[in-house]
């Protein structure tokens, strides 16, 4: 029996929140620095961080002076204090948002695809369906169909990085790049070996058909 999400009974759980331990699905999972949190825990963490930021801002309206300030001065100080508090809250929210998107791999179509990973994936192009199994890109199995395989290989080369990032959990962007480089060099090595073996096979066939003699015109 499949384990379901604590917030969505019909959705299959993909992990558990490290803060409260509740099971979560892809829809309500938030990854922060490689750890999984549920949405309520993330909101609670954000609220605590915002409260600390607000408490760190001095309240301009509580300053005691000997003389009574004018209405303009009091209004100006209040506006400065309000702007400072709003800026601190915005900075805290931005910091939490950036931390939450450090590693979005394995989160499906909703995952943010890093700009630096855009480009042609040579390993996916050369290894197509084998590469797809290793990177959980199941559409690559269409490469097993004759006449369709070359089209799928080109599509995998163009979209391979994006699909591999969104369909599989990776430790970091650097780790992702290293693995994809390995696929590329393996694909190139297999291509070179295939060309060499094919050339030798053709030469042997020609030699056999000529009765063991090579004739030059």
Confidence label for 185 from pLDDT (cuts 50, 70 and 90) = very high
Average pLDDT, integer, range 93-121:
77
Confidence label for 3 from pLDDT (cuts 50, 70 and 90) = confident
Give the residue, 29 or 161, on which the prediction is more confident: 161
Are the CB atoms for 125 and 156 separated by under 8 Å? Answer: yes
Q: What angle do CA 174, 175, 181 make, to 5 degrees?
A: 90
Residue 37 β-bridge partners: 30
What is the C-alpha to C-alpha distance for residues 4 and 25, in angstroms, rounded to an integer?
Answer: 8
102-114 tens-digit pLDDT: 688 999 888 899 9
pLDDT beyond 80 at 87: no
Give the residue, 53 or 207, on which the prediction is more confident: 207
User: What are the tokens at 138?
Assistant: 């199941």
What are the DSSP calls for 95-122, one per residue? HHHHHHTS--TTSGGGSPPPGGG-S--H
The domain segmentation of the chain, as residue ranges, is 15-100, 108-209
What is the C-alpha to C-alpha distance for residues 170 and 183, in angstroms, rounded to an integer?
Answer: 15
Of the candidate ranges 23-27, 147-151, 178-182, the one whose mean pLDDT is the lowest: 23-27
pLDDT beyond 80 at 66: no
Please tell me the predicted confidence (pLDDT) of residue 13.
81
Burial of 44 (0-12, 13-18, 19+ CB in 10 A): middle
pLDDT beyond 50 at 10: yes
- For the chain, give the percent of residues with pLDDT over 90: 41
pLDDT beyond 90 at 7: no
The rounded mean pLDDT for the chain is 82
Confidence label for 130 from pLDDT (cuts 50, 70 and 90) = very high
Confidence label for 5 from pLDDT (cuts 50, 70 and 90) = confident
pLDDT beyond 70 at 215: no
Confidence label for 94 from pLDDT (cuts 50, 70 and 90) = low
Q: Name every residue whose Cβ is closer than 8 Å to that of residue 29 and which is 6 or more positions away in sequence.
A: 14, 15, 36, 37, 38, 107
Give the Cβ contact number of residue 68 at 10 Å: 7
141-164 tens-digit pLDDT: 999 999 999 999 999 999 999 999
Check the CA dihedral 71-74-77-81 and report its sign: negative
pLDDT beyond 50 at 98: no
């Amino acid at each position: 029996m499949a384990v379901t999400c604590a917030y969505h009974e019909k959705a299959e759980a993909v992990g558990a929140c490290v803060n409260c331990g509740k099971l979560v699905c892809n829809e309500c999972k938030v990854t922060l620095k490689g750890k999984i949190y549920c949405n309520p825990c993330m909101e609670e963490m954000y609220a605590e961080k915002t409260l600390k930021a607000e408490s760190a801002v001095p309240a301009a309206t509580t300053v005691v002076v000997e003389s009574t300030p004018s209405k303009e001065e009091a209004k100006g100080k209040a506006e400065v204090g309000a702007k400072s508090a709003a800026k601190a809250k915005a900075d805290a929210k931005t910091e939490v948002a950036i931390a939450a998107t450090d590693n979005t791999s394995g989160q499906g179509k909703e995952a943010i695809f890093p700009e630096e990973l855009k480009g042609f994936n040579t390993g996916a192009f050369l290894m197509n369906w084998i590469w797809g199994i290793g990177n959980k890109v199941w559409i690559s199995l269409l490469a097993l169909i004759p006449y369709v395989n070359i089209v799928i290989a080109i599509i995998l080369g163009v979209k391979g990085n994006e699909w591999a990032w969104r369909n599989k959990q990776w430790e970091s962007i650097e780790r992702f790049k290293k693995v994809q480089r390995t696929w590329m060099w393996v694909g190139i090595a297999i291509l070179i070996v295939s060309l060499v073996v094919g050339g030798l096979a053709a030469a042997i066939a020609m030699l056999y058909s000529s009765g063991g003699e090579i004739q030059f015109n």
